[in-house]
Amino acid sequence: MAEADARKQQLQEKFYNQSIDTVRKELDTAVDGLTPQDADRRFQEYGPNALAEGKRKTNFQRFIDQFKDFMIIVLLVAALVSGFVGHEWADAAIILAVVLINAFMGVIQESKAEEAIDALREMSTPDAHVRRGGEVLTVKSEQLVPGDVVLLEAGDIVPADLRLTDAASLKIEESALTGESVPVEKDVATLDGDDVGIGDRTNMAFMNANVTYGRGEGIVVGTGMNTEVGRIAGMINSAEETTTPLQTNLNQLGKILTVLILVIAAVMFLVGILMHGQAPLDMLLISISLAVAAIPEGLPAIVTIILALGTQKMAKRNALVRKLPAVETLGSTDIIASDKTGTLTQNKMTVEQMYYWGKLHPATADIPLDNNALLAMNLANDTKIQPDGNMLGDPTETALVQYGLDKGYDVREEVKKMPRVDEVPFDSERKLMSTIHQLADGTFYVAVKGAPDQLLERATQIEVGENDVQPLDDREKQAVLAQNTALAKQAMRVLGMAYKIVDTLPDPVDSQTVENDLIFAGLVAMIDPERPEAAQAVAEAKSAGIRPIMITGDHQVTAEAIAGRLGIIDPGDDDAVLTGAQLDEMSDADFEKHVSQYSVYARVSPEHKVRIVKAWQKRGKVVAMTGDGVNDAPALKSADIGIGMGITGTEVSKGASDMVLADDNFATIVVAVEEGRKVFANIQKAIQYLLSANLGEVLTLFMMTMMGWDVLKPVQLLWINLVTDTFPAIALGVEPTEPGIMKRKPRGRKSNFFSGGVASSVIYQGILEGALTLGVYLFGIMNPVHTSAGDIHADALTMAYATLALIQLFHAFNVKSIHQSLFTVGFFKNKAFNWAILLSTALVAVTILVPGFNGLFHVRELDGFQWLTVLSAGVLMLLIVEIVKFVQRRMGKE
């Protein structure tokens, strides 16, 4: 047991700064690998080379969690009191139905929320080539153990973390782990230092990375959860679930309403008993009526429906929401922390500039098909073009072939005319690659590509025009080097091309015999270009008050150049760029203090991304994090809203996200933000409508109780809440986007549903509704149609009931905009709203006009004058609120 623990402790070491012999000694392995017996024994110690599965909730646990929300608890208590104490079982049944529907919808939305670890497990390669006891075997990757010797070749997926012991032109693409778009050239040299970043560990190969070129061998130094990918899986498991602004606001709203309801109910209860001599049970029932009037029992369901409708609209615009609250969270976003590779850029190397004949040419310019720079870049190239047109090979080389195809040069046809007869493969020391092709006249064309400085050392001539070759002097050489430097400063990857024609095949074919007396043909500059729509999206985000932040594993020069081209920073603004190494030197407190200074982070690790997100969150900002790689998953889960990429994104990043972009289009985020802002605005309208209406009901009951009048019955209040709250409130959720919504600043984390004048509007509008209802009741008493006291009170109560219901429907038109005039917003633009108002009006009228319902709802028929009085109160509500909004706009409170 102690031996196993000691060996597991070894896996925490940094093998990149140890020699190969030291690593072999530490892991007790040999050049021929482990013996089968030793491998079996270690498998028992370490277990499978697989990622641990995170603890998952069952659907039943998710269902129970839905009832932990404060508002839901309040509703459940109200339902129990209504049923068992007040015997108002209809009230209790409707409240419970709303709660259950809301709970089931929550379970459905969250059932797929924890898929990140499963996706990580599925990414593991099924087979690995391993040397054990001197023999090369093919085993399941899960069977690998520390100390195994693994063989790699182009096309393989690295099955575990390896310390490389052999690397022949080995290149490994690690963008999903490091964020760097270009494959990394690997070697076996021991690295110095204890803080070398993942992207700079050139003597290591990491689990789930792709071998794009060459071959190699390595010793397994990490398996399962002890790999770099495993550490990310552990971070995903331990990441805390963030509370969205919507959830926070709803919890706050529930607590505020509960306190107010308890205080008002207690006052009513005491006043009724002490001042009017009411029986305690009667006052308890009246208090229950107050609870029914005060609690917006449909609010959770209405919010869920509005969010769901927003989700459907966003899906049509390529933004797929996995968690409902994410819709609203987008609307409050202050920071979009975006991964560069594949999100802001295309994750595809592309030729951008060509330098030949002494001039720089854009990639869009025509080029002669017999240009030797074009020939050399295509011939000295190992890219394979498949029958379907897809290319296999190093991304840099495929970019060169694609450039040739775009210009009409098909290397497949050319090699039929001048077949490759020999080659000098690329290696990282000389940084060159050469191929030899036989021409029709029996001579040989030598094509060379590689590092410009290395080529210039081996060239004696330079091509300065078509069929115009001159000796390469110092002036020409310096001109080429200056151009190379200028392009490199623009974050472009620059390669040089050269050629020569020889009469006989060199013997032997090696660098000394082939790569000399060359004719320099030109330079090619490539970059992983920004997405065409990304710059416009960045500009729109800034105009909406949102700050875009770029986070990447790429080098500082590359990150700074792309950020400058996109408008994230001003070109050349070095002070806005921070590297991972510099971030490591800063304490959390110091970084949080200066985080607003930086807009670009280069050469960062997964831990850095989480740290950046949390630093902004501690500044009170709502952070959205976009990404597509495995390395993005922890930050995606830590952010207020994680945004994954649907096309290029790994299943890991999608599983950790709250929202996935189906088109990988950064501009879609801006669309989603606009929809999120509209959703919040519409939820705010619904809440303003519901609370002002409920406040009107509460004040009506409270004042009637204070005056000792007959009060409205629970069944009347329940019917009013059911028909006037639900349909109009839902219809307000599909109101069109108000003009200028993307010119407003983000609400931020501290905002709530009562911000922006909503609180004051709820109060004065609720008071106004209550006052108008009581006024109609008094008017009915003072202007009776009948003579008997009983009939007079029955008429007045019916008028109060009708007024309280219809006045809310009139008020719904006011709430179509918090500050804008109804005449600006438009009466009838929202068809769903119009139908909702008509349906609710009909349902209220049925209880009064249709025989048989009168007794059930304790009401009686009204005459024309009484109906005119009721409708006048509704029109008066509409006009008074419009006047108040006009005054507010004149005072600049919009």
The answer to whether the CB of 873 falls within 8 A of the CB of 775 is yes
Q: Using alpha carbons, select from 729, 728, 723 the residue that is nearest to residue 842.
A: 723
Determine the Cα–Cα distance for residues 462 and 15; give it in Å rounded to an integer.
45
Buried b (16+ CB within 10 A) or exposed e, 365-393: eebeeebbbbbbbbbbbbbebeeeeebeb
Q: In this structure, what DSSP letter does residue 357 have?
A: T
Q: Which of 477, 330, 446 is nearest to 380 (CA)?
A: 446
Closest CA to 176 of 206, 153, 196, 152: 206
Contacts of 331 (CB under 8 A, 6+ apart): 673, 675, 676, 677, 678, 679, 680, 681, 746, 747
The one catalytic residue among 69, 156, 161, 339: 339
**Separation between Cα atoms, residue 297 and residue 301, nearest integer Å:** 8
Strands 359-362 and 149-153: unpaired
**Separation of alpha carbons 68 and 300, rounded Å:** 13
CA distances from 81 to 91, 286, 365, 698 (A): 10, 12, 79, 18
Give the CA distances from residue 634 to residues 50, 233, 241, 628, 894, in Å, rounded to whole numbers and listed in that order. 19, 8, 11, 12, 40
Q: 3-state class of 156 per DSSP? A: coil
Q: In the annotation, is 503 catalytic?
A: no
Question: Which of 664, 629, 448 lies closest to 537 in space, CA to CA?
Answer: 664
- The three-state secondary structure class of 222 is strand
716 touches 649 (CB < 8 A):
no
Task: Please tell me the distance from the alpha carbon of residue 223 to that of residue 221, in angstroms, as a whole number.
Answer: 7
CB-based contacts of 22-27 (< 8 A; 24+ apart in sequence): 23/163, 23/219, 23/221, 24/219, 27/146, 27/147, 27/219, 27/220, 27/221
DSSP notation for 462-531? EEEETTEEEE--HHHHHHHHHHHHHHHHTT-EEEEEEEEEESS--SS-SHHHHSSSEEEEEEEEEE-PBP
Stretch (H or E) spanning 151: strand 149-153
Cβ burial of 220 (10 Å; 0-12, 13-18, 19+) is: buried
Going by C-alpha positions, the residue among 559, 563, 607 that lies closest to residue 583 is 607
Closest CA to 621 of 748, 706, 712, 735: 748
Measured CA to CA, the distance from residue 658 to residue 324 in angstroms comes to 8
The conformation of residue 143, written as its DSSP 8-state character, comes to: G
Angle at the Cα of 145 (from 141 to 150), degrees rounded to 5?
Answer: 65
One-letter amino acid at 550 equals M
In angstroms, the CA 255 to CA 118 distance is 38
C-alpha 474/C-alpha 309 separation (Å) is 69
Query: How many whole angstroms separate alpha carbon 222 and alpha carbon 35?
Result: 18
Query: Within a 13 Å sphere around the CA of 878, how many CA atoms are in the beta-carbon half?
Result: 15
Distance CA 617, CA 637 (A): 13
Amino acid at 194: D
Q: What is the CA radius of gyration of the chain?
A: 36
Q: How far apart are the C-alpha atoms of 272 and 512, rounded to whole Å?
A: 107
For residues 659 and 643, is the Cβ–Cβ distance under 8 A?
A: yes
**Catalytically active residues, by annotation:** 339
